Chain A
Amino acid sequence: AAGVIQSPRHLIKEKRETATLKCYPIPRHDTVYWYQQGPGQDPQFLISFYEKMQSDKGSIPDRFSAQQFSDYHSELNMSSLELGDSALYFCASSLTIGGVGAGDTQYFGPGTRLTVL
């Protein structure tokens, strides 16, 4: 069965550069979540989208932006990268059945490991 695809799997950038991470949800899934996990830390929720509209916003820095496209894939754009942005970035997708508050199974991608030098 198809899973969530993230690209690239590894990315190395210099400080102050920009990076774009991509997430391709499972076919027919309409909800995408982005998480950031620093070394030895809990994953931190960044932002989510439902039907191409932002549905919730977490601890996403102003230097980051994200969107969900018409084909439901999502991109996380990161500018003015800092050393502290080095982390594993997870994307997850789900199919929203019951609406907000109902709870649907999330499927996580393998993550993109970003290293900022």
Chain B
Amino acid sequence: KNQVEQSPQSLIILEGKNCTLQCNYTVSPFSNLRWYKQDTGRGPVSLTIMTFSENTKSNGRYTATLDADTKQSSLHITASQLSDSASYICVVSARDSGYALNFGKGTSLLVTP
């Protein structure tokens, strides 16, 4: 069964600190992995997308890594800001299913002053 597990479920950090969110998946055959940022009640915003051959990708203060061998990904946030408070969702798609995306439950991040 294709699954995407994220940890931690929630995280509170002080403004200016760094943090790392984890995503483990069992989706196979792997196609790509995406990280989204989503505020409550809002639509998701795509941060990064990585295919099998990519093992790191940055978007400003966000850096995602992918280890396709261990089926793990991480999202590192540098110098956090209050506006980083949001839910971060890991989504993995399989190569042989044109439709299905497998969603993680997300990590809820709260950045405090």
Contact = CB atoms under 8 A, between A and B. Distances in A.
Interface of A: 31, 33, 37, 39-40, 42-43, 45, 48, 50, 55-56, 58, 88, 92, 94, 96, 98-108, 113
Contacts of A98: 40, 85, 110
Contacts of B60: none
Contact of A94 (B40, B88, B91, B100): B40
- Which 5 A-B residue pairings sit nearest by Cβ, starting from the closest? A45-B43, A103-B86, A55-B41, A103-B87, A58-B43
A92 B87 CA distance: 13
B46 to A, nearest CB: 7
B30 interface: no
Contacts of B89: 106
A5 to B, nearest CB: 16
14 contacts: A31-B40, A45-B44, A48-B43, A98-B40, A102-B108, A103-B39, A103-B40, A103-B86, A103-B88, A104-B87, A106-B87, A106-B89, A106-B103, A106-B106
B42 to A, nearest CB: 5
A101 B86 contact: yes
A43 B89 CA distance: 13
B43 A100 contact: no
A56 B42 contact: yes
A10 B38 CA distance: 28
Contacts of B88: 103
A49 to B, nearest CB: 8
Contact of A88 (B43, B44, B99, B107): B99
Contact of B108 (A31, A48, A105, A108): A105
Contacts of A56: 41-43
B105 interface: yes
B2 interface: no
B36 to A, nearest CB: 9
